[in-house]
Amino acid sequence: MDKKKKPRQQTLMSFFGANAAGKLPNASQTSNKSEDASSPAAPAPPSSPQSDSSNRKRKHSPQPDAVNEAKDNPDEVEMPVSDNDSPEEPPKKKAARKNNIPSGRLIKKGDAAKKAAAKIVTPDESASEAEDKKVVSPRKRKARNEEKEGSPPPSKKPNKTNSDNSDTEVDDSPAAENPISPEPKQQPSKKKTTPTKAINAKATGKAKTSETKIEKNASSSFVDTPQGGTSSPTSEFEKDEKEAVKEEKEQDDDKKFDKEVAKATVKMMMAGGGSPKKGSQITWKKGDDVPYAALTNTFEAIESTTKRLQITADLTDFFKRVLQLSPHNLVACIYLCLNRVGPEYEGKELGIGESILIKAIAEATARSAASIKSELAEKGDLGDIAQSSKGKQKSLFKPAALTVPSVFKTLKEISAIMGTSSQQKKIALIKKMLSACQGNEPKFLIRSLEGKLRIGVAERTVLPALANATVAMNPDFAKWSTAKREQELEEAASVIKQVYSELPTYDEIVPALLEKGTKGLAEACKLRPGVPLKPMLAHPTKAISEVLDRFEDMSFTCEYKYDGERAQIHMLEDGTVMIYSRNSENLSAKYPDVIERLHKIPKEGVKSFVLDGECVAWDREKKCILPFQVLSTRKRKDVQTADIQVQVCIFGFDLIYLNGEALTKEPLIKRRELLHTSFKEVEGEFAFAKYMDGNTVEEIQTFLDEAVAGNCEGLMVKTLEKEASYEPSKRSRNWLKVKKDYLSGAGDSLDLVVMGGYLGKGKRTGWYGGYLLACWDDDREEYQSICKIGTGFSEEQLAEHAKFFKAHIIDRPRPYYRYTDTPNLRPDVWFEPVQVWEVKAADLSISPVHQAAIGLVDSSKGISLRFPRFIRVRDDKSPEQATSATQVAEFYRNQKINSAKGGKDEDDD
DNA sequence: GGAGCGGCTAG
DNA sequence: CTCGCCG
DNA sequence: CGGCGAGATAGCCGCTCC
């Protein structure tokens, strides 16, 4: 692991000639200096002949050996050091003074040192007031810590140690809450915005209470609950029964998990822990439509905790009430919980985004879109904004209260609107709903429209809750023993998950459930061609040894992992063919060519099937696989076979259904055999995924190398006999993937300069959620944007960065910042070029927007990074020591070469 | 006909 | 992808 | 330690608006 990281860094360092950069801040600093100074080629002022001539050389030599070149001019690359005396001056011009300046390194966690250093670097920016302000995480976890035992947050903020003060401190210096503020001028005012669960939890006291309840309950008595009915006093023999159940069957993990859930659920049901704040619970008349508020109150309760069992319990409780009073609303409730307007494969989407929503809220509340936008930057949640704005608006007459089906129906309507002025129509519908909203409804309505409920609920929570609720409706439930309840709950959860994974359609499952209960469900809802099932997914692994560990003495197989798009191909008895994506989206319109020629593939006697495979771009002339980027240029709608540019080949690797029989329970070895006996390959159209059943490291390594050489991403490793069924719900990650990245040094590592930041949303409110990074082009003397980055940070780092950059905000980009000024790319806040980050990326690609190494690989387009992630701050590097444009270009060319010939050779260096 | 946005893929 | 939380 | 949910990334196509 280290092994891979290290060499790469060394490579970079050697490019710069920066001796041992990164080891000892001080040492390296001085040595850099001395080396610079003593070097005869020392950069010298901007106009120095040296730098000029080297520039020229670079420009004229058509395709020089880039490595050598970089080595030739290490000083030039590392030369300029940031300094802010004259910010508009290109950095290079300041190079002459570099020896006097401690460079961008300054910033360490240590306080005093940092203050001093920061001052030197930015005498003009009033960094001072930022300094003493601690960074308080807006996150719930931290607030919880305070609340619970007052343990200090993970960040080593010095003045945070005293927990008792923390609350007061927060109140005292609200500005410190958010190390960043959207507009530097208008400092965040007193009002502390809390998008976080913690504060909610604190306010209601709920999360805590329920925790306690659970604890207490586990050990001793329980309380009667209005919902659960009167429960028999089981606590004494609870334990024995639990034991009994436990040893009964030590099956596979997933079952165990279900069991745990079941146990906990029983407890909570008995304790009434499932019902959020009784007072706020909304009831309605039997047979009426469920009030929307009943749902949003449930959401509110769920949002206030992160405990999964608690969430399940809350949801269960809600479903129970719906089952009791308005079962006909259940489907709509479920869809709203999942934030969907219908089954996935129908592909219905709202077609609403942030900007449209802002407009709608603005109109509905008579505010300006601009003011909403700036509030959004501050608060990070449109739902909250809608809610507070709404409060001010008192409507003259009250429209009828919203109900779950009415909201659901309107959402469906919205998703159906298309064509001219569709946006206006959508806005009108949203306004109408907003005006009928009360209480906490706007918050969740808006979040639903945004497509992000952000309360911690998804399929894997809804399904068990649904199961629990159904079981609890059993008239005998109250009479059952604890063990019986647990068992029933567990079984139900497992059945529902199983059924859902094969037929992911609530429209069918729920009615069947209502009619037959969980027992008859599996019989009623079966895998069926035409309805996409959840695909089996793979778990990433870092090493071949990890694979061997995991599968120990089970038989397994390795397959090529093709670089394309997952394709689940269905053929019905009547010959209809459909293709679905990994997310159950219907791709049939995208691949008419595949559908047309699919009849050639099945052998005699195959009447219906569901086949799992990968759809890959295919070069018919060279008969080879093309990269994903080529595939992605295919049209998606109304594709006519005649004008298809990118040809495609399907690589089949699994067979899930054949001639009326589901094969999901069969082991892979049998499914694979059936696949091979039921279908035949057609060159350039259909092939079986290449596989190898060997099980030694050497064999696998060789196979992996071959796969990579054949333009594949790596390998998939799957069990053949034991635990080898196709059951996504059971263990959705029972397959492993080994990526080539691992082989070839885990991608490229670059050192990049931070140019600007984007305000975070949701749980990143108050910090920068992402940053714009650049490389340094010394020919053009400018920083060129290369990617945005938003991942790889811990929360602590997020806080540190925000605090650090606050002292380096500038009101407009430096003239030597090169980027494309699109709204998407333009940072919310610009920074001085003061810090270098090490960033890792999977790939480099020609970018339509980024500017790195422009003119070096493509005359008008720059290069960007794919999947960049933050590794660490490079305090030992000044911004002009960042990876240079030439190096970026070189990386880009290098990867092409490597992928062309198999990538194994550049492991080290 | 281009900009902006939404929605999908990928990891 | 990464992270943090939960069980 | 694995499952899950949430927040990020690049890049492409398609629809709407201007």
* The one-letter amino acid at A353: G
In this predicted structure, what is the pLDDT of residue A780? 93
Which of A561, A590, A739, A788 is an active site residue? A561
Of A648-657, A837-846, A871-880, the least confident:
A837-846
Cα distances from A541 to residues A134, A549, A716, A735, A743, in angstroms, run: 38, 11, 10, 10, 12
Q: What is the mean pLDDT of residues A782-800?
A: 92
pLDDT of A740 over the 80 cut: no
Question: What percent of chain A has pLDDT above 70?
Answer: 67
* The one-letter amino acid at A201: A
| Cβ contact A633 with chain B strand, < 7 A | no
Q: Is A255 a catalytic residue?
A: no
pLDDT of A313 over the 80 cut: yes
* Confidence band of A716 (pLDDT split at 50, 70, 90): very high
Bridge partners of A847, per DSSP, are: A862
Dihedral class, residue A628 (left if φ above 0, else alpha if ψ from -120 to 50, else beta): alpha
In this predicted structure, what is the pLDDT of residue A693? 93
Is there a contact between A273 and A313 (Cβ–Cβ < 8 Å)?
yes
3-state class (DSSP) for residue A541: strand
| Cβ contact A790 with chain B strand, < 7 A | no
| Residues whose CB falls within 8 Å of the CB of residue A519, separated by 6 or more in sequence, listed in order | A495
Q: What is the mean pLDDT of residues A385-395?
A: 75
Of A168-172, A294-298, A768-772, the least confident:
A168-172
| Rounded Cα distance, A334 and A320, in Å | 12
Q: What is the mean pLDDT of residues A472-485?
A: 91
Q: What positions of strand C are covered by protein, i.e. any atom < 7 Å from a CB? A: 1-7
In this predicted structure, what is the pLDDT of residue A154? 33
In this predicted structure, what is the pLDDT of residue A151? 34
Q: What is the mean pLDDT of residues A598-609?
A: 96
How many Å apart are A409 CA and D9 C1'?
A: 34
Dihedral, CA of residue A284, residue A288, residue A292 and residue A295, to nearest 10: 60
Q: What is the mean pLDDT of residues A708-736?
A: 86
Pick A278 or A767 by higher pLDDT: A767
- Chain segment A227-239, per-residue pLDDT in tens: 333 333 333 334 4
3-state class (DSSP) for residue A366: coil
Pick A41 or A94 by higher pLDDT: A94
* Confidence band of A765 (pLDDT split at 50, 70, 90): confident
pLDDT of A729 over the 60 cut: yes
> Which nucleotide is at minimal CA–C1' distance from A564?
B10
| Cβ contact A795 with chain C strand, < 7 A | yes
In this predicted structure, what is the pLDDT of residue A5? 29
> What are A380's two structure tokens?
């990070």
How many Å apart are A672 CA and D2 C1'?
A: 28
Q: What pTM did the predictor assign?
A: 0.75
pLDDT of A490 over the 60 cut: yes
* Residue at shortest CA–C1' distance from D5: A456
The CA angle A458-A461-A462, to the nearest 5 degrees, is 80
Global ipTM: 0.86
* Confidence band of A253 (pLDDT split at 50, 70, 90): low
Q: What positions of strand B are covered by protein, i.e. any atom < 7 Å from a CB? A: 4-11
In this predicted structure, what is the pLDDT of residue A269? 67
Q: What is the mean pLDDT of residues A604-629?
A: 94
Q: What is the mean pLDDT of residues A274-285?
A: 65
DSSP-derived letter for residue A227 is T
In this predicted structure, what is the pLDDT of residue A271? 57
Burial class from Cβ neighbours inside 10 Å (0-12, 13-18, 19+) for residue A44 reads middle
Of A150-154, A176-180, A839-843, the least confident:
A150-154
* Confidence band of A542 (pLDDT split at 50, 70, 90): confident
Is there a contact between A755 and A835 (Cβ–Cβ < 8 Å)?
no
How many Å apart are A605 CA and B8 C1'?
A: 36
| Rounded Cα distance, A401 and A360, in Å | 19
- Chain segment A367-382, per-residue pLDDT in tens: 898 889 888 888 888 9
How many Å apart are A430 CA and B10 C1'?
A: 33
| Strand-strand pairing, A869-873 and A836-841 | antiparallel
| Rounded Cα distance, A522 and A513, in Å | 10
The CA angle A267-A268-A269, to the nearest 5 degrees, is 95
pLDDT of A671 over the 60 cut: yes
| Cβ contact A349 with chain B strand, < 7 A | yes
Of A191-200, A373-382, A573-582, A804-813, the least confident:
A191-200
In this predicted structure, what is the pLDDT of residue A311? 93
* Confidence band of A323 (pLDDT split at 50, 70, 90): very high
Pick A661 or A397 by higher pLDDT: A661
Q: In this structure, how many other beta carbons lie within 10 angstroms of the beta carbon of residue A198?
A: 23
3-state class (DSSP) for residue A766: coil
Q: What is the mean pLDDT of chain A?
A: 73
- Chain segment A325-345, per-residue pLDDT in tens: 999 999 999 999 998 888 888
How many Å apart are A207 CA and D1 C1'?
A: 25
| Rounded Cα distance, A138 and A762, in Å | 10
